[in-house]
């Protein structure tokens, strides 16, 4: 195993000499997907709780579809299916975009995590204490200020445990990226297996890499939860 690590460590962690590969590619996909999906989900979560059915129902349908179908199927549809549509194939920009495995992977992962995160945040917003909202309204907060200073911060604290699980799930899901030719950790591990015929060592190294990243994320979210817990206790004492 040490010989494999010595020979392939650079490809597993950073680059093959020409392109970003391995762990760097995995983290890049994870960060882009979680960041874009999280930003989109904030707006969709507000609409998910809307009383207007023309706003609420399309968002519900979006989350239902992406939570109700396997991520791998979504990835294959976006990578192999959308490009076959004439309106995409004959458009230069769209054609180039959907021919890229990395673009399709980030798009599929972004939409998938957005669907789950929308429901997580929407549920958290519904659990924000009504007294805090009424107090802010009495102080003259407009709708934008209400969401910015009261609802979003409070909902994020409520949603943090569930959201941390979603981020870990997305990390594990990045292992699907190699199926559309993206050179992530799993792609490099498969290449190592093909060259050395040592599947236990090749995939074992990949498992250790994922485990280390998972531990780092779990530790970071635990620290963040503890920070918010201390902050909440301090507010209770002040009250």
Q: What pLDDT was estimated at residue 2? A: 86
pLDDT tier for residue 46 given thresholds of 50, 70 and 90:
very high
Listed residue (89, 43, 80) closest to 62, CA to CA: 43
Residues in Cβ contact with 139 at an 8 Å cutoff, skipping those fewer than 6 apart: none
Q: What is the pTM of this model?
A: 0.91
Residue 98 has pLDDT above 90, yes or no: yes
Q: Is the pLDDT of residue 22 over 90?
A: yes
Among candidates 45, 43, 56, 27, which has minimal Cα distance to 171?
A: 27
**pLDDT, tens digit, 9 for 90 and up, residues 120-154:** 999 999 999 999 999 999 999 999 999 999 999 99
Q: What pLDDT score was predicted for residue 236? A: 44
- How far is the C-alpha of 133 from the C-alpha of 128, rounded, in Å? 8
In this predicted structure, the answer to whether residue 237 has a pLDDT above a threshold of 80 is no
CA distance 217 to 207: 15
Phi, psi (deg, nearest 5) at residue 15 = -155, 155
The residue-averaged pLDDT of 199-206 equals 96
The hierarchical CATH code for the domain 2-238 is 1.10.3720.10
Determine the Cα–Cα distance for residues 198 and 6; give it in Å rounded to an integer.
15
User: Does the pLDDT of residue 234 top 60, yes or no?
Assistant: no
* C-alpha distance across the termini of the chain, in Å: 58
Q: Is the pLDDT of residue 231 over 80?
A: no
**Does the pLDDT of residue 92 top 90, yes or no?**
yes
Amino acid 227: pLDDT: 82
């Amino acid at each position: 195993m040490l010989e494999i690590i010595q020979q392939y460590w650079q490809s597993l962690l950073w680059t093959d000499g020409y392109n970003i590969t391995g762990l760097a590619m995995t983290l890049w996909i994870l960060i882009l997907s979680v960041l874009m999906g999280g930003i989109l989900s904030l707006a969709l979560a507000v609409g998910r709780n809307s009383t207007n059915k023309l706003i609420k129902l399309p968002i519900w349908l979006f989350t239902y579809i992406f939570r109700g179908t396997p991520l791998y199927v979504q990835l294959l549809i976006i990578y192999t299916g959308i490009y076959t549509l004439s309106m995409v194939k004959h458009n230069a920009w769209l054609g180039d975009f959907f021919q890229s495995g990395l673009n399709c992977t980030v798009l599929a992962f972004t939409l998938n995590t957005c669907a789950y995160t929308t429901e997580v945040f929407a549920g958290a917003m519904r659990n924000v204490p009504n007294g805090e909202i009424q107090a802010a309204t009495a102080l003259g907060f407009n709708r934008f200020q209400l969401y910015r200073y009261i609802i979003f911060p409070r909902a994020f604290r409520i949603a943090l445990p569930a959201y941390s699980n979603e981020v870990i799930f997305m990390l594990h899901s990045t292992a699907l990226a190699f199926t559309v030719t993206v050179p992530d950790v799993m792609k490099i591990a498969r290449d190592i297996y093909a060259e050395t015929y040592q599947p236990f060592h090749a995939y074992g190294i990949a498992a250790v890499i994922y485990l280390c990243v998972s531990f780092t994320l779990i530790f970071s979210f635990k620290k963040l939860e503890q920070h918010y817990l201390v902050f909440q206790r301090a507010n209770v004492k002040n009250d």
